[in-house]
Chains A and B, each alone.
Chain A
């Protein structure tokens, strides 16, 4: 489909979700997958600054550990940290260029091992502050055009709006506290992933896939479902467990990138 039409569809879809009582993790995940589609890239993730000034991933286009590790590495160094501190987008970073990647060589090595060639970081802006970054990866050396960068910035702005619009008890809720809530919601998902992975003797990646598939099939919010798993309110045998999963590092490498 031609991009303008698809673009319009996606913006309508995202705007529609924002007026509903939405789940922030579901929303940001969907936004990440739409970034991959619209910008024709390989992976996308959203990072938010925590109360210690470090960046933490809240959502990604896919939940493979190899990708999440790349976000985790950037809690203190990497293109997203640069973008967070400068407030400027950092685009078309060649991960194979040793001069460019020298300040965060460890991140660059891991990104290349995961199969990525190019990365981009776009700020999540809140008036005069930066509260996080949208991080994009491509397995090929395909630069983003100026138009692509503007689109990425628009997606990043929508992510910020969504985080500030989360349902809370109280409309006057504080912006910083909304960021904190998004990060905490992410933690709930990770805790539930661990519980399911252990019960099923499966990898955390496939545990998450099964949880998400169940949430979608039953039209439940992923966060509510994660809470139900943790509180023991949900009989987890009802969720189809992932079929015999190979969690060895070799298998993980084979599965990523797609």
Chain B
């Protein structure tokens, strides 16, 4: 079960009211710092927003050095928890351990959660605390609910409407036919999965229909997407 404070944060997120979101999320998750990094155009993640200076520094360090729990989390697509960071053997992330010690960062524990939808890597949310120890069950549930919501948000091209409209919210992103249709549309358009999903969601939104219904039309081959002839990229993958 998620906490009431996080439920309030999610409502704000869906409404597109992102002012002070980092602070609100940090408070709801009951941690000292928070950082969100996003995968941009399939490349390495880049820090997007944060709460707390130490958290921001640690996030920058990890992606500059290319090592640490957050890059590991993005690569493997699973949560990486470090309940006692200074006690972690330095062989795991040698450059990061050295740099963090030199900077005397107060961070004692890190918890990284992937933003992903199947094979689509969206980014990573890192929670930091100044005291060691594991997350509580509520913190974990909250973190998973928040990452699911952020995943849906950033996969929606930041369109508040895509999340707010009925049948296009985060729960809709878990239907099998949606993912099958995403794969099919990515071949039809010769685009990555994330973009194919965005096109499906935009179609559902513009027709005011649930996403899975539009996806079902695609898998039943009653609906096809065609590359835009004016699009800058060459449509070379129509038949795969």
Give residues in A with beta carbon < 8 Å to B. 50-52, 54, 56-57, 68, 72, 75, 168-170, 172-174, 176-177, 180-181, 183-188, 190-199, 204, 226-227, 230-231, 236, 247, 249
Q: Of B76, B135, B137, B184, which is within 8 A of A194 by CB?
A: B184
Interchain CA distance A176-B221 in the complex, whole Å? 36
| 14 A-B contact pairs sorted by A residue (CB < 8 Å) | A50-B171, A50-B174, A52-B170, A56-B174, A169-B76, A172-B83, A183-B174, A187-B117, A190-B118, A190-B176, A191-B118, A194-B186, A198-B187, A204-B219
Q: Which residue of A lies closest to B175 (CB)?
A: A72
Q: Are the C-beta atoms of A198 and B179 separated by less than 8 Å?
A: no
**Stretch in contact with the other chain, from B26-34, B141-149, B155-163:** B141-149
Number of interface residues of B (CB under 8 A): 45
* Supplied contacts A168-B76, A169-B76, 11 more A-B pairs, CB within 8 Å: A172-B134, A177-B78, A177-B144, A191-B119, A194-B182, A194-B219, A195-B183, A195-B184, A199-B240, A230-B119, A249-B220
B134 to chain A, nearest CB (A): 7
Main secondary structure, interface of B, reads helix
User: Is there an interface contact between A198 and B184, defined as CB atoms closer than 8 Å?
Assistant: yes
B residues less than 8 Å from A230 (CB atoms): 119, 183, 193
Q: Mark B32-73, 1 if CB is under 8 A from A, else 0.
A: 000000000000000000000000000000000000000011
Cα separation A75 to B170 with both chains bound (whole Å): 14
Cα A180 to Cα B145 in complex, Å, equals: 10
Q: Which residues of A contact B145 (CB under 8 A)?
A: 51-52
Q: Is the CB of A169 within 8 A of B72?
A: yes
Closest to A168 in B: B78
Q: How many Å lie between the Cα of A226 and that of B77 in the bound state?
A: 15
Q: Is B180 an interface residue (CB 8 A)?
A: yes
| Chain A residues whose CB sits within 8 angstroms of the CB of B179 once the complex forms | 187, 190-191, 193-194
Q: Is the C-beta of B79 less than 8 angstroms from some C-beta in chain A?
A: yes
Complex Cα gap A181–B114 (Å) = 10
Per the bound structure, the CA–CA distance linking A68 and B77 in Å amounts to 25
A176 touches B140 (CB 8 A): yes
Q: Is the interface of A mostly helix, strand, loop or mixed?
A: helix
Known contacts A173-B79, A247-B221; is-contact A180 B144 (Cβ 8 Å):
yes
Interface residues of B in 94-117 (CB under 8 A from A): 113, 116-117
Which of A51, A187, A226 is the one whose CB lies under 8 Å from B144?
A51
* Chain B positions near chain A (C-beta within 8 angstroms): 72-73, 76-81, 83, 113, 116-120, 134-135, 137, 140-141, 144-145, 148, 170-171, 174-177, 179-188, 193, 219-221, 239-240
Known: A72-B176, A180-B144. A173 touches B183 (CB 8 A): no
- Specify which chain B residues have a CB less than 8 angstroms from the CB of A198 in the assembled complex: 183-184, 187-188, 240
Q: How far is the CA of A50 from the CA of B152 in the complex (A)?
A: 14
Q: Top 5 nearest A-B pairs by Cβ distance?
A: A194-B183, A187-B118, A190-B179, A199-B240, A177-B79
Chain B hits for A236, CB < 8 A? 240
Cβ contact within 8 Å between A170 and B81: yes
A198 to B237, CA, bound (A): 11
Q: Which residues from chain B contact A176 at a C-beta distance below 8 Å?
A: 137, 140-141, 144
B219 closest partner in A (C-beta): A204
Interface centre among A72, A187, A197, by most chain B C-beta atoms within 10 angstroms, is A187
A190 to chain B: which residues have CB within 8 Å? 118, 176, 179-180, 183
Q: Is the CB of A184 within 8 A of B118?
A: yes
In the complex, chain A residues whose CB is within 8 Å of the CB of B148: 50-52
Which residues of chain A are within 8 angstroms of B181 by Cβ–Cβ distance? Answer: 194
* Chain A residues, Cβ within 8 Å of B182: 191, 194
Using Cβ atoms and an 8 Å threshold, which residues of chain A touch B186?
194-195
A190 to B219, alpha carbons, bound, how many Å?
11
Tell me the bound Cα distance from A249 to B80 in angstroms: 44
Residues of A close to B187: CB separation below 8 A = 194-195, 198-199
Query: Which residue in B73, B77, B113, B180 is a CB contact (below 8 Å) of A197?
Result: B180
The smallest beta-carbon distance between B188 and chain A, in angstroms, is 6
B175 proximity list for chain A (CB < 8 A)? 72, 75
Determine if B118 and A169 form an interchain contact, defined as CB atoms under 8 angstroms apart: no
CA distance A132 to B185 in the complex (A): 31
In whole angstroms, how far apart are the Cα atoms of A51 and B183 in the complex? 23
Nearest chain B CB to A247's CB is how many angstroms away?
7
B218, chain A: closest CB distance, angstroms:
8
Smallest CB gap from B197: residue in A: A191
Chain B residues with Cβ below 8 Å from A226 are 119
